[in-house]
Amino acid sequence: MRIVHYTSSRARVISSRALDFSAAREGGKWSCISAFCLCALMLLPALASPSPQDIERKIDALISRMTLEEKLGQLQQLDGDANGEYRSEHLELARKGLLGSTLNVRGAKRTNELQRAALESRLKIPILFGFDVIHGYRTVFPVPLAEAASWDPDAVERAESVAAAEAAASGVRWTFAPMVDIARDPRWGRIVEGSGEDPYLGSAMARARVIGFQGRDYSSPNKLLACAKHWVGYGASEGGRDYNTTDISERRLREIYFPPFKAALDAGAGTLMSAFNDLNGVPTSANSFTLTRVLRDEWKFDGFVVSDYESIKELVNHGVAADEADAARAALSAGVDMEMVSRLYGKYAPGLLREGKLAERTIDDAVRRILRIKFRLGLFERPYVDESREQAAIMSATNIETAREVAARSIVLLKNERDVLPISKDVRSIAVIGPLADDQLDMLGSWSGDGRREDAVTLLAGIRAKLTPSTKINLAKACSLALNGDSSDAASIGEAVRAARDSDVTVITLGESADMTGEAAARASLDLPGRQLELVKAVIATGKPTVVVLMNGRPLTINWLADNAPAILETWFLGSQAGNAIADVLFGDINPGGKLPVTFPRSVGQIPLYYDHENTGRPADPNNKYTSKYLDSPVTPLFPFGYGISYTKFELTNLHVSSQTIKRDGSVRVGVDVENIGKRAGDEVVQLYIRHIAASVTRPVRELKGFQRVALKPGEKHHLEFALTSEQLGFYNSDMRFVVEPGDFKVFAGTSSIGGLEAGFRVIE
């Protein structure tokens, strides 16, 4: 059931006034009458919260008084400057009631100034201030792909809650997050903004992020309105090139790409963003199937849809609109309510109405949806932000500690031969090598909100904080991150080799710069940029114990490292506390427990490569040429989805199902024991997969249907249970009906998407 947020700040205003009124004292003590009034008035918030009917009546009254120009103003979002300033025209438009929303305007003082202008307008409709709070506001958390690697929705919810509180204190009331696109092509730069390749994990993370941003009542002064994006299929862009075409069957849309959006809406997300891409011949910002039939008719979504940046204007480039006026008609008629940055609605809608190409009801419906969210957000009752709260809410000690904890939980240990890790704090000398070792800006990753370089802790700083002054640290940047290398790199690599030889252990950072991932950052190659591979080969050739610390926003093709580096930590871009979190793991204060949310391929030629593929009539067989495989590469991944190891060892035993047969509408419980059989405390993520052996349409070889991250001390054992219901066992048949079909199912419990324990059950009529 979708959580609908009708609670308004109006109730809080009444309550606070009531408390002030009832604060009468008699002889320094509360009078009985005052106490009675106080108790009675404390009940008013629940009674005074506007009902859905109250909100709709208020919207009706407003719309009946609005001019066409004022209605179209509500459908317009304009961008401010990158530094958070509003533009001079914004004040003029706001005073006329012609500006519904802004992008990038932030800071309590600035937003209050612009809001004050809006409340000078005839109808006093407040402005909705939006900003890209993707993985933190000032306190920057790990990039979303990294947070997904934690396999810990509670940790992700805490991170987004911090981000919401900081942003809200700065006047921002709407974030363009979470990005819930399923992405199976790591060449696509925006894979960094999502949760990877799997719809089940993606749905869990979507739900956690929406609840973190919005809470149970997004009118609360420390919460943000969430916006699930990009609706829909954007993560399947052909060739991994941003903004590119997608062609996705309806079954795949419903089973792979829709579920995280549905999870976000079920968690209460008030808005969605339409995408840039063409979907099956109809761009998503003019696609009535996705915007109206699915979103409004099937899912009963009553919030509003905002376009992506000028995506309505781009309908002309797509070739589905003859001109800008046609683009405005197509998008608004399909169900895009608010136009981001471009101004086609306001410019062309009056003419379209006169020509009979656009219905006034269509405009009114869009205005209604936007006003509905503004009422639910409490903007009419509490349009201003408390400027005195802003400084205290930003980068508090608690926020910083939370960022460090979430960052450490997002790290994935890919390899650890001969127990190179953890490093002893008594080490006499350590080489810290690589272009990212002391780079503050890149620690923040892409789309880092209002994060500041000077607040970021580098790996070098984190290592220094762990060691005594007697430990010698040999630093060498070694080479650039330039895609084609740099002419000075050869000499720098030599310096790195000398630093490694002069040290007992080497930590080498490799990967990408932050601007190599994110929007408009597609890569045709997934190899380490520049001369980094040459660098790491030279360092490992010294024979010194070497730990590779990867910093990146996508899977990379690191075959040589997987074969030759003694230890590899995948740390992604971890945000403000990156250096401290990585050092916590390097020196064993924290045992890494993250798992990959996306498959690491051996080569670009394997893409797309994901674990829940369908089988073929000729599954790969190394002993048979005429099977589905390559001549020059294994078909298996370098590192599979769900993979990640630890400084300790875990064992799974006693997999069992509660019943060998269930009915279509029944459920089955699956239990398994997990034990820490190593010598250190640590976390394991136990993953539950299913396979429907034979159905009316082909089913994946495995599908993730449950996971639990559990902390265990040495020798400790836990019994875990999972429930499989029709929701997990069903699929869309050839008629696009969601069904549970009779047949045999396999159940797998493991620590990655490969291997594990196996059991089974049967669904009967």
Element (H, E) at 711: strand 703-712
Q: Nearest 5°: phi and psi at 278?
A: -75, 130
Specify whether the backbone of 221 is left (phi greater than 0), alpha (psi in -120 to 50) or beta. alpha
State the CATH class of domain 411-606.
alpha beta
Q: How far apart are CA 24 and CA 130, in angstroms?
A: 42
Portion of the chain with pLDDT greater than 70, in percent: 93
Task: Residue 601: count other Cβ atoms within 10 Å of its Cβ.
Answer: 24
Please state the rounded mean pLDDT for residues 596-617: 98
| 718, β-bridge pairs | 674
Please state the rounded mean pLDDT for residues 78-103: 98
Q: How many residues does the chain have?
A: 765
Residue 28's pLDDT is 36
User: What SS3 class is residue 404?
Assistant: helix
With 0-12 / 13-18 / 19 or more C-beta atoms within 10 angstroms meaning exposed / middle / buried, residue 565 is buried
pLDDT at 676 over 50: yes
Supply the pTM of this predicted model.
0.93
Residue 9's pLDDT is 31
Please state the rounded mean pLDDT for residues 362-370: 98
> Of the ranges 343-352, 472-481, 678-687, which one carries the lowest mean pLDDT score?
472-481
The band of 49, judged by pLDDT with boundaries at 50, 70 and 90, is: low
pLDDT at 92 over 90: yes
The band of 487, judged by pLDDT with boundaries at 50, 70 and 90, is: low
What single-letter amino acid sits at 353?
Answer: L
pLDDT at 234 over 50: yes
CATH architecture for segment(s) 650-764: Sandwich (2.60)
Q: How far apart are CA 209 and CA 162, in angstroms?
A: 11
Q: How far apart are CA 290 and CA 258, in angstroms?
A: 10
Please state the rounded mean pLDDT for residues 489-505: 92
The band of 440, judged by pLDDT with boundaries at 50, 70 and 90, is: very high
Portion of the chain with pLDDT greater than 90, in percent: 91
pLDDT at 44 over 80: no
Specify whether the backbone of 572 is left (phi greater than 0), alpha (psi in -120 to 50) or beta. left
The band of 490, judged by pLDDT with boundaries at 50, 70 and 90, is: confident
CA distances from 300 to 6, 390, 520 (A): 16, 37, 33
Q: Nearest 5°: phi and psi at 454?
A: -65, -15
Residue 15's pLDDT is 31
Please state the rounded mean pLDDT for residues 69-97: 98
- The bridge status of strand 757-764 relative to strand 743-750 is antiparallel
The band of 486, judged by pLDDT with boundaries at 50, 70 and 90, is: low
Residue 480's pLDDT is 86
Strands (E), 222-303: 227-231, 271-274, 278-279, 282-283
pLDDT at 6 over 50: no
Q: Nearest 5°: phi and psi at 338?
A: -120, 135
Q: Render pLDDT for 282-329 as a digit per residue (tens, 0 to 9).
A: 999 999 999 999 999 999 999 999 999 999 999 999 999 999 999 999
Give domain limits for the chain: 1-49, 411-606, 650-764
Please state the rounded mean pLDDT for residues 112-120: 98
Specify whether the backbone of 239 is left (phi greater than 0), alpha (psi in -120 to 50) or beta. left
- Residue pair 500/431 in contact (Cβ under 8 Å)? The answer is yes
Q: CA 454, 519, 290: angle at the middle one, nearest 5? A: 135
pLDDT at 12 over 80: no
- Residue pair 167/121 in contact (Cβ under 8 Å)? The answer is no
- Which of 308, 326, 442, 450 does the annotation list as catalytic? 308
Residue 488's pLDDT is 62
- Residue pair 586/421 in contact (Cβ under 8 Å)? The answer is yes
- Residue pair 325/351 in contact (Cβ under 8 Å)? The answer is yes
Q: How far apart are CA 437 and CA 439, in angstroms?
A: 6
Helix/strand/coil (H, E, C) string of 103-114? ECCCCHHHHHHH
Q: Residue 527 catalytic?
A: no
Q: For the chain, what is the mean pLDDT?
A: 93
CA distances from 334 to 69, 281, 282, 462 (A): 21, 14, 11, 51
Q: Render pLDDT for 515-562 as a digit per residue (tens, 0 to 9).
A: 999 999 999 999 999 999 999 999 999 999 999 999 999 999 999 999
Please state the rounded mean pLDDT for residues 423-449: 97
The band of 7, judged by pLDDT with boundaries at 50, 70 and 90, is: very low
Residue 50's pLDDT is 80
Strands (E), 86-166: 101-103, 128-131
State the residue for tokens 């034979």.
694
Residue 112's pLDDT is 98
Residue 45's pLDDT is 38
Residue 625's pLDDT is 95
pLDDT at 715 over 50: yes
